[in-house]
Structure 1
């Protein structure tokens, strides 16, 4: 299948954190303790939102960080500075992970710069709300799957030769995989695929000492939401349906990724963590 161009001009994707108000909270909440000292992390979608919070937290814990972003260069430059302010090296790579050749290039550039990959975080994603399944075009359906799940296959395939015993892969799924979302049919379907991919990949790699887990955030305040087609009325009440009555912040999700990346979770693989504001879902 040919790669379909991202719909940036159609609906504002992927969205700028620099222009978002109020600003998401990405700052790590605690001093680092060296849990990723000497490690190298490759993170997708880390120019903003959850990916940015994960990148900066990983840097605080001692990791050098390569990250991929689609088009928001101002946000990516800011993330680089945040990583460097933590005393670690940053490498930002611009491009579309829906293209398997680009995924190969991402890994090649990361290895050329850092010589290894210890943690792979597949976080990049996009969504397009639709009231009716008949409104989902073939172009949108293919694009959503390319960004949200095909990219994970492409990047994991490219990184696999460089992942040694002790490496960790962490995929970003969603509460929508468990609870459903009436206006996010294609997005939710990809998140179901990501959870199945996580569990199956864990079974495939656990014998080689590589752990594979996932994080399923609930409603988190990031550029994905205002740029993904949500109405102003819906945004005004975003996250209020959680038991905690509010949306989460990226820095409330990032510690779940850190836990799964470091030795604290050495006896966990094929599992999903749920920072979702108290929504009870099946595991």
Structure 2
């Protein structure tokens, strides 16, 4: 891997005609995303801990699952039923690292499913140290009239409500030193005009992170969030046109989209002792895009 950040991942133009139906699969992306399968080297930072990762089947979630496993953690991953193929691939990489992986299909927009995820993780592993709220729904718009009530409610249920329900279920079982890591977005501050609701949910996540960090600090539980910029994951071809896919990431100062593997170290930092004095932080990983 090159040390030049401009060349550390594929650069546009990319093949444009690779649109997918929701929720999107890794196997249909060209080039295939890099989740750190061949590059991430663990340092024992999460030895014998247990992490629950939503959206752990693909994209940033898969990269985090691989990194956590190589850092010594057992991993439970949540995903939609139709993403089983990707989830099985993630499980194989976790197990190749010598750790256990629990697959938990289901829809986190359902409050009961959120409680079930925590219960099944505890039943399988006997503890829960790290909660990574990463799964997200994204809808786009041209004008105000484009989004339905179902679009708006579904986005908030997946991106914000589930995060609250999962924290509510997980925190009573977490000990001092536990960590919650949330996925927000550069859109929390940039808020592009065609991503009104997605940006609103990501702004809510940033605020929720700060509030939770203050609430849980007396219990010794840290809460932080990572704000990715454009990243080469299956969420992109769901909502972007061929022209947008061709140039994905070209607007960043580094001139390219990030790879999921480049996000994972931030999630490791925020979950481990290396980030012991970090709580309530928003960590941008944006290719240089400012978050004002």
TM-score higher than 0.5:
yes
Question: Is contact 1:125-1:148 (8 Å) kept?
Answer: yes
1:128 Cα deviation after fit: 1.3
Question: Is contact 1:169-1:210 (8 Å) kept?
Answer: yes
Q: Secondary structure, in 3 states, of the residue corresponding to 2:228? A: coil
* CA distance in structure 2 between the partners assigned to 1:30 and 1:89 by the alignment: 18
Structure 1 residue ranges, 4+ long, deviating more than 3 angstroms after superposition: none
* CA distance in structure 2 between the partners assigned to 1:225 and 1:128 by the alignment: 11
Q: Secondary structure, in 3 states, of the residue corresponding to 1:257? A: helix
Match of 1:15 among 24, 37, 45: 24
Moved more, 231-240 or 22-31: 22-31
Question: Is contact 1:211-1:268 (8 Å) kept?
Answer: yes
Within a 5 Å distance, the mapping from 1:191-202 to structure 2 comes to 191-202=202-213
Match of 1:140 among 136, 151, 161: 151
TM-score (norm 1): 0.94
1:161 Cα deviation after fit: 1.2
* CA distance in structure 1 between the partners assigned to 2:51 and 2:80 by the alignment: 18
Question: Is contact 1:42-1:66 (8 Å) kept?
Answer: yes
1:252 Cα deviation after fit: 0.4
Q: Which has the higher contact order (CA 8 A, sep 6+)?
A: 2
* CA distance in structure 2 between the partners assigned to 1:147 and 1:30 by the alignment: 29
Question: Is contact 2:40-2:67 (8 Å) kept?
Answer: no
Match of 2:186 in 1: 175
1:39 Cα deviation after fit: 0.4
1:69 Cα deviation after fit: 0.3
Q: Secondary structure, in 3 states, of the residue corresponding to 2:224? A: strand
Within a 5 Å distance, the mapping from 1:1-283 to structure 2 comes to 12-27=21-36, 29-71=39-81, 72-227=83-238, 229-282=239-292
Match of 1:6 in 2: none
Q: Secondary structure, in 3 states, of the residue corresponding to 1:104? A: helix
Question: Is contact 1:76-1:92 (8 Å) kept?
Answer: yes
Output the aligned Cα RMSD.
Answer: 0.9
* CA distance in structure 2 between the partners assigned to 1:23 and 1:92 by the alignment: 22
